[in-house]
């Protein structure tokens, strides 16, 4: 039996960081129900390359998930969402901070009605702080986090890492947080909110750069 057999995830995430996390949790045995917007669905459904008319990129991140469309502003769809919530262990979202609150499904509200629910969120700069409302993309957080300043040739310009580590590392930290919350729930009976910032995740993987600057005062270079 897989480690997460019997765990149900409602996946409101799209593009990469969130879907990477939910795909990892699916690989560990969780049931993932992907909730997509009506019409186009997840943006990555339109990403090339295509195989037999379907996005291979989308499939790489979402294979095995059950997908349905929901409009959380429509009364009928909200009722369905709330029925799904009653059976969910984990909810994942990567909207800008404040969106779920405006829809009436922020963590504080859901914790009152579903105290065992684990709420996992990933965004560019986290749900608190001066940049919380700003959008972010992989290249932006690679640059702001300093990764591009140590990537490339000496004396050359900043270089983006080929793999989308701005998204992927954040997805990995979201996965770790969710697994820790599941373990804690076994002891407390309560869910928790996991708030992962893409920028924080880029800083966390630069152990040598941070140690060098702290110990010597020198900025790391390429």
* List 42, 167, 195, 200, catalytic entry: 167
Number of other CB atoms surrounding residue 55 within 10 Å: 19
75-89 burial code (b ≥16 CB/10 A, e <16): eebbeebeebeeebb
Give the orientation angle of helix 165-188 with respect to helix 17-27, to 10 degrees: 50
Pick from 107, 79, 76: nearest CA to 91: 107
| 167 classed as catalytic | yes
Separation of alpha carbons 18 and 165, rounded Å: 13
CA distance 100 to 53: 33
Place of tokens 């909110």: 193
Q: 10 Å Cβ neighbour count for 67?
A: 15
Q: Answer whether 21's CB lies under 8 Å from 94's CB.
A: no
Which helix or strand (DSSP H or E) is residue 78 part of?
helix 75-85
Residues involved in catalysis? 167
């Amino acid at each position: 039996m897989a480690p997460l057999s019997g765990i149900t995830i409602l996946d409101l995430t799209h593009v990469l960081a969130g879907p990477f996390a939910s795909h990892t949790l699916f690989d560990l045995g969780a049931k993932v129900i992907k909730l997509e917007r009506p019409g186009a669905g997840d943006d990555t459904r339109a990403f090339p390359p295509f195989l037999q008319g379907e996005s291979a990129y989308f499939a790489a991140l979402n294979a095995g998930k059950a997908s349905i469309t929901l409009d959380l502003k429509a009364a009928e769809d909200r009722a369905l969402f709330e029925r799904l919530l009653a059976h969910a262990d984990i909810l994942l979202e990567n909207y800008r901070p404040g969106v779920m609150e405006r829809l009436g499904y922020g963590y504080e509200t859901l914790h009152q009605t579903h105290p065992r629910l684990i709420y996992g969120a990933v965004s560019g700069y986290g749900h608190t702080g001066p940049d919380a409302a700003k959008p972010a993309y992989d290249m932006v957080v690679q640059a702001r986090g300093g990764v591009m300043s140590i990537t490339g040739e000496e004396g050359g310009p900043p270089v983006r890492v080929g793999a989308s580590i701005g998204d992927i590392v954040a997805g990995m930290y979201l996965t770790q947080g969710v697994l820790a919350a599941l373990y804690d729930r076994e002891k407390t009976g309560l869910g928790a909110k996991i708030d992962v910032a893409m920028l924080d995740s880029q800083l966390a993987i630069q152990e040598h750069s941070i140690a060098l600057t702290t110990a010597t005062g020198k900025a790391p270079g390429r």
